[in-house]
């Protein structure tokens, strides 16, 4: 995609509008006391580790049913309000929800832009309409192993502290509360179903006026997202065009060996962390499906899981770009994500070595 193309800048503008709109809706919902109802199941948990693991699992489950970017835009401001109300680490809760979002996006083929593209290519390759159980036979086991490894890494980074049980004081319901709640639901449905930016702006402005948000509340807006998201998309587009124009996928003869599996995982992991995972999927999976490799479905799953190892940079994944907009630094992202990458590299290397010849859709 050319950086001067109208479609690229339309995508950037739409995503920034969506980010701001959802944040204002969630700030409005928090001001009138609606978010307290969402926090109820977690109010009596006293261990910070269990709380972070709970948010990790919530994000993992939800990410199976919606795009990772959309979930990040909805969930990130919610968890930050929760963290502030209970005195929890901002970095830890951003990592928990972002990693959960990333791990869970491959439970279904509609959990992320990369999985949607990859699944479309596989259907084109087979010439058949494939169902969710077919996806599960290919991806559920490696995704579960990835989930376990990532959860262990998360628990290693979290300093377990005692958290005072939360005294939830619900505000008295009012017409304003009901209207803000309705607008928030409509806005979230709009984000999931693709409302136009104009409709999202109208819903957001109505919510802002009714909730009477002031300067203090609007300080929570992800203003960094304007340039971080734009920068990520442009850089990813430039690198993607460079790779697509100048390089071809060359499969080594020893790919089926353990060393070959490690090499492919390492190379693709490196590429996915300097460009968007969706961009790399668009470039490399068609080359995989067009290759003469005999065990092609095995290779397809291997490459797809390698692309998912995008934990190191703001360029790599939509969830990381959003978290960066809310304060997750590139340093924390890289240093903590590095362990996740090494753990997943070990898991996937062993898994795909022992699964040679055993991954099939028939």
pLDDT in tens, the chain (362 residues): 555 566 667 766 776 777 778 778 888 887 887 877 777 788 788 899 999 999 999 999 888 777 787 788 888 888 998 898 888 999 999 999 999 999 988 888 777 777 877 887 788 788 777 788 888 899 999 999 999 999 999 999 998 898 887 666 666 778 888 899 899 888 888 876 767 888 888 998 999 899 888 877 777 666 655 665 566 556 655 655 555 555 555 666 678 899 999 999 999 999 899 877 877 887 788 778 877 788 889 999 999 999 999 999 887 888 888 888 888 899 999 999 999 999 999 999 999 999 998 998 86
Half-sphere exposure (Cβ direction) of 4: Cα atoms closer than 13 Å:
0
22 within 8 A of 73, measured Cβ to Cβ: yes
Token pair belonging to 16: 């920034």
Q: What is the value of pTM for the model shown?
A: 0.79
Half-sphere exposure (Cβ direction) of 101: Cα atoms closer than 13 Å:
28
Q: CA-CA distance, 336 to 54, in Å (whole number)?
A: 19
Altogether, the residues listed in the chain come to a count of 362
Residues 6+ apart with CB under 8 A from 337: 311, 312
Residues 6+ apart with CB under 8 A from 241: 1, 2
């Amino acid at each position: 995609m050319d950086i001067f193309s109208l479609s690229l800048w339309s995508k950037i503008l739409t995503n920034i509008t969506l980010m701001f709109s959802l944040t204002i809706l969630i700030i409005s919902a928090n001001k009138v006391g609606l978010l307290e109802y969402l926090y109820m199941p977690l109010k009596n948990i006293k261990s910070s580790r269990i709380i972070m693991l709970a948010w990790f699992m919530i994000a993992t489950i939800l990410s199976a049913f919606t795009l990772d970017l959309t979930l990040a835009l909805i969930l990130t401001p919610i968890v930050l309000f929760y963290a502030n109300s209970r005195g929890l680490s901002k970095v830890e809760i951003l990592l928990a929800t972002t990693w959960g979002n990333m791990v869970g996006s491959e439970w279904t083929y509609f959990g992320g832009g990369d999985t949607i593209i990859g699944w479309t290519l596989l259907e084109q390759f087979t010439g058949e309409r494939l169902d969710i159980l077919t996806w599960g036979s290919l991806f559920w086991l490696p995704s579960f192993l990835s989930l376990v490894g990532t959860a262990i890494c998360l628990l290693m980074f979290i300093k377990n502290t005692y958290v005072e049980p939360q005294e939830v004081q619900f505000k008295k319901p009012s017409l304003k509360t009901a209207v803000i709640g309705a607008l928030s639901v409509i806005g979230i449905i709009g984000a999931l179903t693709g409302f136009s930016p104009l409709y999202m702006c109208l819903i957001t402005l109505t919510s802002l006026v009714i909730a009477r948000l002031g300067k203090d509340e609007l300080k929570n807006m992800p203003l960094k997202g304007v340039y971080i998201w734009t920068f990520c998309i442009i850089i990813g587009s430039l690198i993607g065009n460079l790779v697509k124009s100048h390089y071809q996928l060359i499969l080594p003869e020893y790919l089926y060996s353990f060393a070959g599996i490690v090499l492919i995982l390492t190379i693709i992991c490196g590429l996915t962390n300097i460009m968007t995972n969706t961009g790399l999927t668009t470039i490399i999976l068609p080359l995989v499906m067009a290759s003469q490799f005999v065990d092609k479905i095995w290779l397809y799953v291997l490459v797809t899981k390698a692309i998912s190892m995008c934990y190191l940079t703001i360029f790599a994944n939509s969830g990381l770009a959003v978290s960066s907009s809310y304060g997750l630094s590139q340093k924390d992202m890289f240093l903590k994500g590095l362990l996740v990458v090494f753990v997943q590299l070990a898991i996937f290397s062993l898994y795909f070595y022992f699964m040679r010849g055993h991954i099939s859709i028939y």
